[in-house]
Structure 1
Amino acid sequence: MLKKSTIDKHHFYLIFPNIFDFKGGIQVYSTFLLKALQDVYPEAHYDVFLKYDKDNLKQQENLQFLTSTKFHYFGNLPRLLQSILFAIKIIISAILQRPTLVISTHVNYAIACYILKLITGTPYWVVAHGLEVWEIENNATKLALQKADKIISVSNYTRQRLLEFKNIDSEKIVLLPNTFDAKQFKINPKPTYLLKRYNLTDEQPVILTVTRMGRMAKYKGYDQILHALVKIRLHVPNVRFILAGKGDDIPRIKALVSNLNLQDCVTIAGFIPDEELCDYYNLCDVFALPSKGEGFGIVYLEALACGKPVLAGNQDGSIDPLAEGKLGCLVDPDNVEEIADNLIQILQGDCSNPVIYQPQYLQQKTIEAFDFSQFRTSLAKLVGGY
């Protein structure tokens, strides 16, 4: 870490897709990254470039960033101009200000970082999450990733995928896993108000999925759960599946529910506000997201911190939060039969991994490995050389 006398010369450029108007994995990671940096370097200067966000002072105040943080918004621009002006503003500002370090939390912005490095020598890091870096087709983006001073991988799985690339120095790829705020997630009884809202009894088994439901997000595995429910309800007749989130795939999902005659056991809950999220985890008996495209999956951490059994896919970054299966149940995300059988076993108390029925243990191990304090300490060590 830099000595205090040099901290006031430290100037970070953070390049994010957005953090205010949409909450996805990259957005949550970006927010935690900025907060951690500001905890470690409270006297540094921060310029944050947000491609899709529109100016929103109230949301800035809610997230409690340092008052000296300067946000640059591009969300009001026409899409054709957005990318060009976004890159130009970053490059020109950096030529004038000469930041100490540039960090981009999406690989698509690495090209602007690389151009800046060619002009000024400014070092840059790129955060690698999941699908967006597993198979890069654009040669310029691939080159910009190769030339980064550090590539921050959010999971061991993504790091292994990056190591398959040619011409990327393996020593550049470092691990800084996703994190969460452990204070927000507690082990509690099923909330009465949600039982009433969904007309459930306290003993009724509930499967929960919280995810984005976009037409490009079918890899999340909610279709497989719906198909698995046909078998699950034969063994667990009063099961209820609550599918929460928003996205443009919901009309198709509703049609699938109808085609499978699952209307009486499936609830599409819509977007869950942050203040209710912990309650939803506590409402369920198992959290299930058998995805095959997760870079990591923060929702798994949140569910585990509430002491819940978790079912995830075994072919992506979901392996990391579940400690390679030690803290949950990993399944083939394409195998509906396997998903159904494992959910039945979990709900009936017959899962072969007894740890999933030990809520305090699940919570403790998750906090030890992934709490924000761990993330902040790891980030401080990474930035210390600049």
Structure 2
Amino acid sequence: MVIKKNDQINCLNIETIKNKQKSTNSQCFHVWFPNIFEFKGGIQVYSAFLLQALQSLYPHCEYDVFLKHDTRCLSNVSFLKKTRFHFAGKWHIKLRTLAFATQLFKFGLWQSPSLIISTHLNFTIIAYLLKYLKGIPYWTVAHGIEAWNLTNPTLQKALHHADRIFAVSSYTRDRLLEEQNLNPDKISLLPVTFDVNRFEITPKPKNLLERYNLAPEQLVILTVARLACSDRYKGYDQVIRALPQIRQQIPNIHYLLVGKGEDRPRIEQLVQSLNLQEHVTLAGFVPDEELVAHYNLCDVFAMPSKREGFGIVYLEALACGKPTLAGNQDGAVDALCQGELGALVDPDDMSAIAQTLIQILQGTYPNPLIYQPEVLRQKVIDQFGFEHFRQTIGNYLEEYFISI
């Protein structure tokens, strides 16, 4: 039997693939998260999707997941049954950071994982020590405010020694490059993703119209944000201050602000001072199962932020087919694809916010895409859906496995 040269190459390729599968099956990942089960914020949701992506790509690898604040597993996150979870949340908050760091360091020394992936920059200090002592590579994720204006020299050193840094937006990446003088080849974009099957287009829910005493034809502006003093940059103040100008064109406009936090009393005073009690509803905390209905209640989603790392709420609103307004100075620019998927405005220009919202609500905004809900939904799925997220992280992992 004569074996041709091309057949030899094909045989070699098959052997290479088989060997690579064997090598990846023996890999052990250490995955470090703040939490994913008992609290839902941007980093937590991102972390849960990252774990799901990793395990769907490499189901035969070993996974040790370390959680700083969680105390137990819940069914709200998908994971492989063989996943080993390590919880530090049962420690008192004053001791938790030390306990978590000790846990990371001890297990890292003992198990020598193939790769450490951390979704919070602060954890990379321990990863740097493990790399220094045992040569363990580590990746980390930079989301937003936690990655800016870093002055801790040990954390700065840990970032410089990271094998890869994922930034959720171009804005976060550019700030890291400018402020920390990092190697640009180390920083890659891995934007936020969302649950495509959960967020969908539906008619305005009758139960919410009744709950908030709204007429079906009444135009509604929605913001979903934590009402914390540290989160005022999200721009809900600006929307409230823009309402008197909007009312001149749309008298029956209503603003629905979803979220809870210690900033609520100040917001209530602001609403009262502008005599907007009949036009603003502070909905407070809304459970996850009602969030989609709230998106579908509105006619425009507005969060003119100026320090947002990315903003998953923009994707959720777009997936419900809603016209969306965001600030033009932060990661929201990436979320709205530089304005292709929505309106970008100066978050400090209250008049621009008001006029843009008037245009959107009156159907005169010069971007016809925002008035095509199904097309808008499909575009945000194509750009930020889980499959795209999974493919992106998969490409980087494939590069990593080839290199080892």
TM > 0.5 fold call: yes
Letter of the 1:269 counterpart: A
Who is 2:54 aligned against?
Answer: 37
Of 271, 286, 290, which aligns to 1:276? 290
Which region of structure 1 is more displaced relative to structure 2, 200-209 or 65-74?
65-74
SS at match of 2:318: helix
Q: Give how far 1:354 is off.
A: 2.1
Question: How many angstroms apart in 1 are the aligned matches of 2:185 and 2:229?
Answer: 36
Question: How many angstroms apart in 2 are the aligned matches of 1:299 and 1:196?
Answer: 24
Who is 1:22 aligned against?
Answer: 39
Who is 1:123 aligned against?
Answer: 137
Which one has more relative contact order, counting CA pairs under 8 Å at least 6 apart? 1
Letter of the 1:310 counterpart: T
Of 186, 190, 196, which aligns to 1:172? 186
Question: How many angstroms apart in 2 are the aligned matches of 1:62 and 1:251?
Answer: 32
Aligned residues: 383
Which region of structure 1 is more displaced relative to structure 2, 347-356 or 102-111?
347-356
SS at match of 1:184: coil
Of 358, 362, 369, which aligns to 2:372? 358
Question: How many angstroms apart in 1 are the aligned matches of 2:180 and 2:294?
Answer: 44
Of 329, 334, 339, which aligns to 2:353? 339
Which region of structure 1 is more displaced relative to structure 2, 221-230 or 349-358?
349-358
Who is 1:286 aligned against?
Answer: 300
Deviations 1:255-280 (A, max 9, x none): 22122211111111122222222211
Q: Give how far 1:166 is off.
A: 4.6
Q: Give how far 1:129 is off.
A: 0.7
Matched, 1:135 2:149: yes
Who is 1:155 aligned against?
Answer: 169
Q: Give how far 1:152 is off.
A: 0.4
Of 90, 98, 105, which aligns to 2:112? 98
Q: 1:340 to 1:11 in 2, by over 3 A?
A: same
Letter of the 2:71 counterpart: K
Question: Unpaired segments of 5 or more residues in structure 1?
Answer: none
Who is 1:48 aligned against?
Answer: 65
Q: Give how far 1:250 is off.
A: 1.5
Question: How many angstroms apart in 1 are the aligned matches of 2:135 and 2:55?
Answer: 24
Letter of the 2:64 counterpart: D
> What is the root-mean-square deviation of aligned Cα atoms in Å?
1.4
Q: Give how far 1:125 is off.
A: 0.6
Identity of aligned residues (%): 55
Q: Does the 8 Å contact 2:34/2:67 carry over to 1?
A: yes
Q: 1:166 to 1:131 in 2, by over 3 A?
A: closer
Who is 2:125 aligned against?
Answer: 111
SS at match of 2:277: coil
Q: Give how far 1:326 is off.
A: 1.2
TM-score (norm: length of structure 1):
0.96
SS at match of 2:26: coil
Matched, 1:250 2:243: no
